[in-house]
C-alpha cells in the first residue's frame, strides 16, 4: 500500500509502498479514507527539537483519520457496539469465574495491588468498590450520614464515610451483630430501624441528615431514607427492593428538593484508584468485616452462613 513515511532523521516525508499491516487479536485493520494534517505532523516533517527527541524513523506518519474497518476479529467492534461489551461477559456469571485455582482475565481489567495489601483485602475489592462508589458519589466530608442496612457493603460504607470525614454516622439494621460491626467501623450511633428517626433528629437540629445510603432494599427503610434526609439532601439507593412499592413523589421527593442516585456497579478505574488511596492512608481498614473463611471444599457451608443473615463478608481461601 501507499504510505507517507518518515524514513530517516531529517526533514521531509517520503511517499512509498509498504506492506499492508498485519493485525493482532485485539486489533482491527482499517482502510483509511480521510486524514487530517495537524501541527504535530508539521513538527515531524520539519524535524524540530521535539520530533528529534520523540520520533524513531522509519515510521508511517499521521494520527487524525477516518476510514472503514476491513478486517477485525472482534464482533462488537465490527458492529459499532464496543461500548456495551464490558457489560455482557461478567466472570462467574457469563464466563468462567474465580472460584478456582486459576483464572484467565483480560489484561486491561487487571488492577495492581500495593505490596502491603493482603490477598484477603484484595479478594473483596469488588463489593468494597460498590461501597466506595455509593458513598463517595455523595459529598461526605463534614456531612451527617444515615446508613440503612448493615450487610457487608453497608458496613464497608460506614468505614469509608468515617475515613472521609463524615461529621456523624448513624447506622441502622435489625441485626445486633451487624450493628456491632458497624460500630467497630466507625458509626457514631447504631440503632434499630424504629429508633432511627429519633437518632437522626437528635443530631441534626431536627433537620435530617445530609446523605442517606440505602443499602437494604427494604421498603420501610426506603421511606425512612426520604423522610430523614434533609431538604436538598441526597439519597444513594444500592439496596434492591424485591417488588414495586408505593411512593409519594410530591412529599417524599419533589417538595424536599432531594437528589436520588440509583447505584449499579462502580466506575472501573476511578473507584479502584480511590480505594487504593484509602487503603494506603491506613484510616480505612475493612478487615473486621470479614467474618468467615472457607476452603473451596466447603462451598455449601459458605452459602449457608450467608443465608443465615449473621455473617459479615465471607471469603474462600484458595491458595
Active-site positions read 40, 43
Contact residues for 316 (Cβ-Cβ < 8 A; gap 6+)? 99, 123, 293, 294, 295, 296, 299, 302
Residue 203, all three cell numbers: 443530631
Return the residue of 52, 247, 268, 287 that touches its own copies, per CB under 8 A: 247
Non-local (6+) Cβ contacts of 64 within 8 A are 35, 36, 37, 38
CB of 197 vs its own copies, minimal distance in Å: 20
**Sites for its own copies among residues 3-32 (CB under 8 A):** 3-4, 12-13, 15, 18, 20-32
Rule CB under 8 A: is residue 237 a binding residue for its own copies? Answer: yes
Q: How far apart are CA 178 and CA 139, in angstroms?
A: 25
> How near is the Cβ of 145 to its own copies at its closest, in Å?
11
Residue 133 burial (CB count, 10 A): 23
**Contact status: 243 vs its own copies (CB under 8 A):** yes
Those residues with Cβ within 8 angstroms of residue 242's Cβ, 6 or more apart along the chain or in another chain: 217
> Which residues in the 215-234 window bind its own copies by CB under 8 A?
217, 222
- CB count within 10 Å of CB 48 equals 12
Backbone angles phi, psi at 303, to 5 degrees: -60, -40
* Residue 141 touches its own copies, criterion: CB under 8 A: yes
Query: Which lies closer to its own copies via its Cβ, residue 9 or residue 105?
Result: 105
Output b/e per residue, 170-208; b: 16+ Cβ within 10 A.
Answer: bbbbeeeebbbbbbebbbbbbbebeebbebbeebbeeeb
Stretch that binds its own copies, among 172-180, 191-199, 297-305 (CB under 8 A): 297-305
d(CA 279, CA 131): 14
Q: Does 211 bind its own copies (CB under 8 A)?
A: no
For position 181 contacting its own copies by CB under 8 A, the verdict is: no
Q: Which stretch binds its own copies (CB under 8 A): 171-179, 190-198, 269-277?
A: 269-277
* Binding of residue 202 to its own copies (CB under 8 A): no
Smallest separation, CB 278 to its own copies (Å): 5
Residue 205 CA to residue 201 CA, distance in Å, equals 6
268 scored as a contact of its own copies (CB under 8 A) = no
Residue (195 or 245) nearer to its own copies, CB: 245
Using the minimum distance from each CB to its own copies, give the nearer residue, 24 or 198. 24
Q: Does 174 bind its own copies (CB under 8 A)?
A: no
User: Which residues within the stretch 98-137 sit at the binding site for its own copies (CB under 8 A)?
Assistant: 98-108, 110, 112-113, 117, 119-127, 136
Q: List the one residue out of 143, 169, 167 whose CA is nearest residue 156.
A: 169
* Per CB under 8 A, 308 contacts its own copies: no
- Comparison of 9 and 38: residue with beta carbon closer to its own copies: 38
| 53 lines the binding site for its own copies (CB under 8 A) | no
Q: Which three cell numbers stand for residue 217?
A: 432494599
Amino acid at each position: 500500500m501507499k504510505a507517507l513515511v518518515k524514513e530517516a532523521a531529517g526533514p521531509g516525508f517520503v511517499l512509498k509502498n509498504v506492506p499492508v499491516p498485519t493485525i493482532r487479536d485485539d486489533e482491527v485493520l482499517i482502510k483509511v479514507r480521510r486524514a487530517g494534517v495537524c501541527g504535530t505532523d508539521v513538527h515531524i516533517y520539519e524535524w524540530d527539537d521535539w520530533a528529534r527527541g520523540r520520533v524513531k524513523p522509519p515510521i508511517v506518519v499521521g494520527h487524525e483519520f477516518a476510514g472503514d474497518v476491513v478486517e477485525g476479529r472482534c464482533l462488537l467492534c465490527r458492529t459499532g457496539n464496543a461500548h456495551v461489551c464490558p457489560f455482557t461477559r461478567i466472570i462467574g456469571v457469563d464466563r468462567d469465574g474465580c472460584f478456582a485455582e486459576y483464572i484467565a482475565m483480560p489484561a486491561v481489567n487487571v488492577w495492581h495491588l500495593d505490596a502491603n495489601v493482603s490477598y484477603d483485602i484484595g479478594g473483596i475489592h469488588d463489593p468494597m468498590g460498590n461501597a466506595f462508589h455509593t458513598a463517595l458519589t455523595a459529598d461526605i466530608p463534614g456531612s451527617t450520614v444515615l446508613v440503612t442496612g448493615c450487610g457487608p457493603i453497608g458496613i464497608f460504607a460506614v468505614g469509608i464515610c468515617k475515613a472521609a470525614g463524615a461529621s456523624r454516622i448513624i447506622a441502622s439494621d435489625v441485626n445486633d451483630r451487624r450493628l456491632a460491626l458497624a460500630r467497630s467501623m466507625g458509626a457514631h450511633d447504631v440503632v434499630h430501624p424504629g429508633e432511627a428517626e429519633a437518632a437522626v433528629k437528635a443530631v441534626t437540629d431536627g433537620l435530617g441528615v445530609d446523605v442517606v445510603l440505602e443499602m437494604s432494599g427494604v421498603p420501610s427503610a426506603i421511606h425512612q431514607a426520604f423522610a430523614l434526609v434533609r431538604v436538598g439532601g441526597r439519597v444513594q439507593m444500592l439496596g434492591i427492593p424485591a417488588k414495586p412499592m408505593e411512593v409519594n413523589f410530591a412529599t417524599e421527593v419533589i417538595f424536599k428538593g432531594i437528589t436520588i442516585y440509583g447505584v449499579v456497579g462502580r466506575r472501573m478505574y476511578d473507584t479502584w484508584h480511590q480505594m487504593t488511596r484509602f487503603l494506603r492512608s491506613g484510616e480505612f481498614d475493612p478487615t473486621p468485616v470479614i467474618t468467615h473463611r472457607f476452603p473451596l471444599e466447603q462451598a455449601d457451608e459458605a452459602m449457608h452462613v450467608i443465608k443465615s443473615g449473621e455473617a459479615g463478608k465471607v471469603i474462600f481461601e484458595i491458595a
